[in-house]
Structure 1
Amino acid sequence: MKITDVKTYIVGNEWKNWVFTQVETDEGITGLGEATLNGFAKTTEAAIHELKRFVIGKDPFDVEQHSLKLFRDFYSDGGQIHGAALSGIEYACWDIMGKALNVPVYKLLGGKCHERLRVYANGWYRTARTPEGFYEQAKKVVAKGYTALKFDPFGSAWRVVDRKDFQLALEIIAAVREAVGPHTDILIEGHNRFSVHTALQFADAMKKYEPTWFEAPVPPQKISSMVEVAKRSPVPIACGEDYYCREQFSELLAHNAVHIIQLEPQYLGITAAKQICAMTHANNGVIAPHSAQGPLCSLVCAHLNTATPNFFIHEIFDDFNSDWTQQIISHPVEVKDGYIELSDRPGWGAELNIELAKQHPYNPGHFLPLFRDGWEKRLAVSEEA
């Protein structure tokens, strides 16, 4: 079997353009991939077409070699764009292998470690940034059966906040805790916002609400800053979604400070992601992969998590996106009573609805402007003003 072509499709989801790939083979088996990256859909699409020459004419089963060559042989470090393009091709190779062998991808990754995956809701707080708004939305989430939910209460904050905004963030956290009760996990998203000192002030202040983690409280580029916060924070720190190579995780784990690793398979490919899960396991940590891209990303993470012994919890946006997005791929993940279970369909078990994709084309306003007031509503930028 040889790869004959790599095609791309951009789908204009309202708050983030999704980039899908389809890898074709000379035996008629096709593989589905995803390469979504906030704000860089067209750029990532172009990168896919620049990278595909490394796999045309190659056997899709040689996925370890493809993962290496797509990163190493290009020589330049293209960061997250490079990683997303690589993943779009590599994901599709795993799908082809599963289909050819008539097994789900998780079987190729080591088999089933978990019968079902506990999930946490994200993207549910599309409301005004008020304690009342978050309270009402959180009530709806737990009524759907979720036992964990994540949210960013910090608005458009960057590095430091004034006293009024600091207090508002805490009031939102308190409102969500009150809404969900003492036995539901709340996870606080920092979105790389703060200086070390501000992050630690928030960590100390939120402790009484017993969050399960404080995520990405400081920018990821200086691992030393993340380590300092993790060692001094009374709340567990989770991070990792911004990193795109094994070496970054190796350095982070070497400090023995962060033990909840949120790797982003979308920037790594499954081959490297599985290795990072093992690195985390060897360092007594757990994984909670970032799954905030498109619906195939959710499915890919579910296969990875199912086959990973040190899996912690799975992120879900799909339940809170527009209704039409539920049909963009066949057989997306389904949440029942706060858990998902994978089927035994071959490969990823899903195909792209190309006709529906054409009805929702790329829109440059479809990205998440995290430092703009009102971003929580996840509206297209052109709709905000």
Structure 2
Amino acid sequence: MKITKVETFQVPPRWLFCRIATDEGVVGWGEPVVEGRADTVRAAVDELSDLLLGRDPRRIEDLWQTMTKAAFYRGGPVLSSAVAGLDQALWDILGRSLGVPVYQLLGGAVRDRVRVYGWIGGDEPSAVAEAAAAQVEAGLTAVKMNASGRIGRMPTATEVAGVVDRLAAVREAIGPDRDVAVDFHGRFTVAAARRVIPRLAPLHPLFVEEPVLPEYTHRLRDVVAGTEVPIATGERLYSRTDFLPALEAGVAVIQPDLSHAGGISEVRRIASLGEAHNALLAPHCPLGPLALAASLQVALATPNFLIQEQSIGIHYNADADLLDYLLDRSAFAFPKGFIERGEAPGLGVEIDETAVRRAAEVGHRWRPPVWRHPDGSFAEW
């Protein structure tokens, strides 16, 4: 079997898909994208395709090593995201060629279903209690919310109270038997995080995500030591070596993104590294159907898995939803807060290629917002 063609499709609302074709008619799909940098990643996929054409797609590890190391300059979000989507597609091809789901190739399932959570509140959270109640009504047993919108470098008493009050409102809405995670989105300094997080502990958040920016991973130990609340991070870490200092700092939950951190191949290794540090895996995934499908395959085969993010109905999906690109939507049904283990081969989903090609004619130019502090200086989104 040889790779004959690599295609990319930029589709709304903010995603990039890739399709790898072979001379035996087996096709694999993946999702290589950096949100807001889809064109840049698309160029990287095109460059990497030179290393794939004519090669056997079943030699996944050799191809992964070649794609990540066959250049003097390595790493970073663009390259690792390009590799991630291609890696997903290679695993999809291998599973389809053998007639088995990818999780079987990773050692088999260690669970029968995957617990998932959904987003509430948007980038500047409001009406979170009502939104949380709606997600519970839809069947979820866990939700995630931003701690705040734009916030001062040293939050005022009012801003701190606002974070606590929003979480309290959600806790009251969902009750004590369901979970809520709080995303700080890297908007807080170390000092601010240490001030705010202990005040959330009585409300029992599942975890606090990305309390500080990834460039301050060397300060995570100070945050972890200052609270009993589990600390999570990882959506902007792209390799085992990126995750190592966070794990050594004592984070409880690691959140690699299957479309950013080298795909199935590398996230599987990151999960094992996390297990050696007694950390749980909760893959980051506010993206499309292929990223979610790849995440589920890893979740089903990973002993230290905790919970899976999914973006059905997320506020970014105004122009399209991940279900719009599937021939069978039942693969992502979560009536009791869990997605059941499937037996379909490869990534376990069937992409509506006609819908993808039609959407790619429209494309997108999604960009994240640019926020400013009251004094006009740049504020973290």
TM-score, normalization by structure 1:
0.90
Deviations 1:245-271 (A, max 9, x none): 11112232234x112111122122211
Q: State the percentage of identical aligned residues.
A: 33
> Aligned match of 2:95 in 81, 93, 98?
98
Q: Are the structure 2 counterparts of residues 370 and 353 from structure 1 closer, same or farther at C-alpha, using a change threshold of 3 Å?
A: farther
For residues 248 and 64 of structure 2, what CA distance do their matches in structure 1 show?
24
Offset, 1:159: 3.4
Greater shift after overlay, 22-31 or 354-363?
354-363
Query: 1:282 is aligned with what amino acid?
Result: A
CA apart distance, 1:362: 2.2
Q: Is the 8 A contact 1:155 1:371 kept in 2?
A: no
The whole-number CA distance in structure 1 between the counterparts of 2:177 and 2:273 is 31
1:1-40 correspondence to structure 2 within 5 Å: 1-13=1-13, 17-40=14-37
Q: Which amino acid in 2 is paired with 1:195?
A: T
Secondary structure at the aligned position of 1:222 is classed as helix
Aligned twin of 1:352: 351
Alignment of 1:266-345 (within 5 A): 266-267=259-260, 268-320=262-314, 321=317, 325-331=322-328, 332-345=331-344
Structure 2 residue 242 is the aligned partner of structure 1 residue 248: yes
C-alpha RMSD over aligned residues: 1.9
1:81-96 equivalences in 2 (<5 Å): 81-96=78-93
Report if aligned partners of 1:207, 1:235 keep a CA contact under 8 Å in 2.
yes
Report Cα offsets for 1:269-291 as digits up to 9, x if no partner: 21111111111112222111111
Write the deviation string for residues 24-59 of structure 1: whole angstroms up to 9, x where unpaired.
Answer: 111111100101211001111111001111111111
CA distance in 1, matches of 2:270, 2:75: 20
Cross-structure match for 1:43: 40
Number of the residue aligned with 2:252 = 259
Distance 2:157 2:251 in 1: 29
- The equivalent of 2:379 in structure 1 is none
Measured after TM superposition, the shift of residue 319 of structure 1 is 4.3
| 1:119 match | 116
Distance 2:160 2:239 in 1: 34
User: What is the rounded CA distance, in whole Å, between the counterparts of 2:114 and 2:191 in structure 1?
Assistant: 35
AA of the residue aligned to 2:297:
H
Deviation string, structure 1 residues 67-102 (Cα, Å, up to 9, x no partner): 111111122135111111011111111000011000
1:216 to 210, 213, 218: 210
For the Cα contact (< 8 Å) 1:296–1:329, is it kept in 2?
no
- The letter for the 1-side match of 2:369 is P
Q: For 2:213 and 2:322, how far apart are their aligned partners in 1? A: 31
SS at structure 2 position matched to 1:186: strand
Give the letter aligned to residue 341 of structure 1: E
Q: What one-letter code is carried by the residue in structure 1 that aligns with 2:253?
A: I
C-alpha separation between the residues in 2 aligned to 1:192 and 1:96? 36
Equivalent residues, number: 365
C-alpha displacement of 1:140:
0.8
Compute the displacement of 1:149 (Å). Answer: 0.8
CA 1:126–1:279: 2 relative to 1, 3 Å: closer
Residue 376 of structure 2: aligned partner: none
State whether residues 254 and 281 of structure 2, in contact with CA within 8 Å, keep that contact through their aligned partners in structure 1: yes
What's the TM-score once normalised by structure 2's chain length? 0.91
**Which segments of structure 1 move beyond 3 Å, counting only runs of 4 or more?**
126-130, 319-325, 370-373
Q: Which moved more, 1:199-208 or 1:301-310?
A: 199-208
Q: Is the 8 A contact 1:117 1:313 kept in 2?
A: yes
Structure 1, unpaired ranges of 5+ = 374-385
Moved more, 169-178 or 43-52: 169-178
Distance 1:372 1:180 in 2: 33
